[in-house]
Amino acid sequence: MAVRPNKNRKGEIIPESWVIDYYPEGRKGQRLQRRVAGCTELEARAIELQLRRRAGGIKNLVNPRIVDVLPDWIQWLDLHRAKKTVESVHWAIKHLKPHFGHMTVGEITETHINKYKTARRATVRSCNLEIAYLKSLVTWMVERKLCDPLPFRIPKLPYEAPPPQIPTTAELQKWLDVIDSGPKKALIYIMLGAGLRYVEASRLQWSDVNLGDNVIYYTAKGGRKRASVLPPEAIKILGPVYALHKEENNGQPPTGWIAANPKTGEPFKSLKTMFKTASKKSGVNIKGPHTLRHICGTYTLEATHDLRLVQATLGHSQVGTTERYTQISLARLRAGQLQLTNYTQQSKEEDSP
């Protein structure tokens, strides 16, 4: 195999364009040429190495371009992955496609990956997720013998999530007071008191609720079946609805979703508008439903000092995930100390002549 600069008809070298000569069947077989553009000589030689590796590995690989296999991969995801995952993949493809869509897997080098990371490093979490989807696509292609696996590891960009902003109990109550009581508020209390994620709480049905024992049953992340204690504030909202339905329907309990959108009859897709309105009215900024889960974990830890209890409440499989809430508590302590220091300093300045 050999790598040489690509030239135009006038014999002029085309910048960042290369010709790779190779023999898929060995020296006695047919010589082929592959032209690659938009890369350095080092990247072209990396592609040459992968072609050489492929010549001694799996034969008759299709090696399609990334863009050509995307429709089949998306169709497979539609059948085998959650709807939210598929939506996330579609979002990631918008960023991945301009960089990798025209390439085959064999043409992707570490340099290409690093260039992509550099372009997307301003949003580290998004970049790591997009690269994870690219790796998933390559794995899917390898399993179907469409390509060889990448010969190198792709490490994630380092990322440390900042601790969420947890309101005080007084601030939280102020925020709750501006939300009208009803099915949506019942979901709020379930997320706040039982630590459920929004996708778990919003898909609760009446058959999942045992008002006699104050227990709810649901499917958690990863398909695990879990049970949690129904918070008393949610019982105050759901109890009368349950009793009224039985009274009006000859003792038959209600069925369907506990909080359905009256326009569609399906669970609410999101509560973004409600959170935004409540934050504006109350002056207490709570970004979204997942913050309520953080509040649940933080308040439970501060009230009980029992990390295992927090782990059980939130359904974390690893206690290391739960330990994040000790950091949140420490962050609040530091914030409180800083406020005390500022208050003391201000008082000294006011008392000084």
pLDDT of residue 58: 45
What is the pTM (predicted TM-score) of this model?
A: 0.63
- Contact (Cβ atoms closer than 8 angstroms) between residue 250 and residue 206: no
pLDDT of residue 77: 95
What SS3 class is residue 267? strand
More reliable by pLDDT, 78 or 163: 78
Mean pLDDT of 161-181: 89
Q: pLDDT by residue (tens digit) across 25-54?
A: 666 677 778 888 877 887 787 777 666 665
pLDDT of residue 347: 65
**Closest by alpha carbon to 60, among 33, 18, 24, 84?**
24
List of E strands, 23-67: 32-37
Domain positions in the chain: 2-55, 66-143, 169-341
| DSSP secondary structure letter of residue 69 | H
Superfamily of domain 169-341 in CATH is Intergrase catalytic core (1.10.443.10)
Spatial distance between the Cα atoms of 22 and 29, rounded to a whole number of angstroms: 10
pLDDT of residue 278: 96
Query: With bands split at pLDDT 50, 70 and 90, how would you rate the model's confidence at 116?
Result: very high
Q: pLDDT by residue (tens digit) across 250-300?
A: 999 999 999 999 889 999 988 999 999 999 999 999 999 999 999 999 998
